[in-house]
Amino acid sequence: MSWTWGYGTNGFTDHPLPAALDVLQHHGYGAVALTLGHPHLDPFAADWRAQTQALAADLRRRGLRVVVETGARYLLDPLRKHRPTLVDREAGSRMAFLRRAIEIAAVLDADCVSLWSGVVPDDVSVDQARVLLEERLLELTAFAADASVTLALEPEPGMLVETVADALALRARLGHPANLGLTVDLGHCVVVEPAGVVGALRAAGGLLRNVQADDMLPAAHEHLPFGEGELDLDAALSTLREIDYAGVIAVELPRHAHAAPELARASMAALVAAAERTATAGAAGGGDSAGEGPRSSAESSAARISSAPGAGPAGAVGGGVSAGGGPRSLAESSAARISSAPGAGPAGAAGEGIRPGRAPVLRRALRPRNLLRSRTRGPAGTPLDHPRHRADTDGCHPRPAPVRLGGARGGARPLSAEPFAPTADDAARAAIIATLADSGADPAVAVALYRRGDDAERRGVLRGLDALAAPAAAWREAGLELVVDALRANDTRLVAAALGTFAAEHLDDHAWRHGVLKCVFLGIPLSVVSGLEVRADDELAAMAERFAAERRAAGRPVPDDLLLLRARERA
């Protein structure tokens, strides 16, 4: 096995921590999931650092891995369970707790800090909760990155982030932070995951940083010992083998502390038996996945590739399938039409076009005087229908003709001295996009040029959207998809290009406000934001105020542009 069996200390609340560790080692566990708070490690104790350093030395001596859990029930409010959360209006104590958890994880050299979103309170709308969560997670991921700590967001039944698909979508909106992964509770999958435990784990793929193990019944979010619910433990472990999971799998039975030693023994027996069954089945069946026929190595690793850290959202470079097999993006659903768009020319073998989920390199020159030309000859002068060029890397699928969005000669120079000013290349590419739109071309052409383009080409497409005075509905839909995608990135030039006149006129309030705050977070001057004077509102000022307060609480400087946003509203 590549993973390590663990057990959560929230199931040992009647044991002092050293005694709990003794029991776990006695039953063969190699890891502990440490829930901060009473009675084991008070994160707000005056000597918390000394206690943590002593615990780190003890864990090293015992050879135990550790993950830090933050589900303490009444640590922050003795009257309200788990409150406040990251989606409450006032969450100062929750943010302080999570920052301290990150500091403790750094001392312990923990695999990760596991955290969750929270249940949306009555006085907060879902849209407001999303804004609050995104602001605070941006702050926490930055704080954790400074401490070299990994965070793992756990979907919880009934919370704002309830499923793996919710967590992946949130991570994409945040720009795919490299140090933000996922926690998956196997029991939760029985209750809320549409594709069950196998689908949830495959969707998490290479982003999975922490696994909690327990049984559950479909109708109730209640952690049960193995065998008392409907979890297919064998299928779960088979899938974890399939995605090469190498972290901690920790039993989570927080309401069973009265029988902790016996349940630790029984849980280990159940886990080992399931692991042995799945290992035997895998060896006998040639690596077939649970409940399915044989899968090729490319198929079995597809989920890992598409969701690996930094891989980008589904439908970005390389395509891919969105978590849970949901609706495809405009780029994916339109890809097959790209080869037959006006002026596109041939695209490999007849009828194939561009296949969603593949990654053809669209890099051929696309000049203002020759808008879209397909390459008709290979590198050695052979026609593209020659067998040498007909197959993709697996030797089976035709490769579409490469296309590229070119620029202007000497076009890397900015056209003005303003920060993030467009370059001559940007202007040339923008003219191409505007000409395509004016000529009635399929917007899938622009989507493909953005999706398969380099950073400069993507900026050119975004600048081209700004040149569209009254875009047709299809172009508006495609443009919004690309602007939202750009605002997920951490490339400052791309984010700056995304907040032009097209975004000012067409982007919804939630996404636009989030983009403005992202500029502040990335150090992009607000002078790049088109329409700021018109669209700035009370909600944006309130977001800026919360962001500033949280930075002060963390001892971090408050950017001048945050003060500008607040002063604008006061004026």
Please give the backbone phi and psi of residue 209, each rounded to the nearest 5 degrees, phi first.
-115, -15
The distance of Cα 511 from the centroid of its chain, to the nearest Å, equals: 17
Rounded CA separation 207/306 (Å): 10
Rounded CA separation 138/132 (Å): 10
Cα distances (Å, whole numbers) of residue 535 to 22, 463, 467, 563, 568: 60, 20, 20, 17, 11
Rounded CA separation 302/101 (Å): 33
> What local confidence, expressed as pLDDT, does residue 422 receive?
85
Partnered with residue 215 across adjacent β-strands are 224
How big is the chain by its Cα radius of gyration, in Å? 26
> What local confidence, expressed as pLDDT, does residue 476 receive?
93
Return the ∠ at Cα 319 (arms to 313 and 324), rounded to 5°: 65
- Orientation angle between helical segments 538-553 and 126-146, nearest 10 degrees: 30
> What local confidence, expressed as pLDDT, does residue 281 receive?
72
Q: Which parts of 449-508 are beta strand (E)?
A: none
Are 356 and 328 a contacting pair, CB within 8 Å?
yes
H or E stretch at 473: helix 473-487
Report the candidate in 138, 142, 141, 144 with the shortest Cα–Cα distance to residue 173: 138
Return the ∠ at Cα 364 (arms to 363 and 370), rounded to 5°: 140
> What local confidence, expressed as pLDDT, does residue 144 receive?
96
pLDDT in tens, the chain (571 residues): 689 999 999 999 999 999 999 999 999 999 999 999 988 999 999 999 999 999 999 999 999 999 999 998 888 888 888 889 999 999 999 999 999 999 999 999 999 999 999 999 989 999 999 999 999 999 999 999 999 999 999 999 999 999 999 999 999 999 999 999 999 999 999 999 999 999 999 999 999 999 999 999 998 899 999 999 999 999 999 999 999 999 999 999 998 999 999 999 999 999 999 999 988 776 655 444 343 333 333 333 333 323 333 333 333 333 333 333 333 333 333 333 223 333 333 333 333 332 233 222 222 223 333 333 333 333 333 333 333 333 333 333 333 333 445 555 445 667 777 788 888 888 888 889 988 998 889 999 889 888 877 778 889 899 999 988 889 999 999 999 999 988 887 778 888 999 999 999 999 998 899 888 888 878 888 889 999 888 988 888 888 888 777 777 767 777 777 777 765 555 5
Report the candidate in 188, 246, 177 with the shortest Cα–Cα distance to residue 220: 188
Contacts of 300 (CB under 8 A, 6+ apart): 242, 287, 289
Are 33 and 67 a contacting pair, CB within 8 Å?
yes
3-class SS string, 508-566: CHHHHHHHHHHHHHHCCCHHHCCCHHHHCCHHHHHHHHHHHHHHHHCCCCCCHHHHHHH
Report the candidate in 519, 460, 465, 455 with the shortest Cα–Cα distance to residue 487: 519
> What local confidence, expressed as pLDDT, does residue 493 receive?
87
Pairing between strand 151-153 and 180-185? parallel
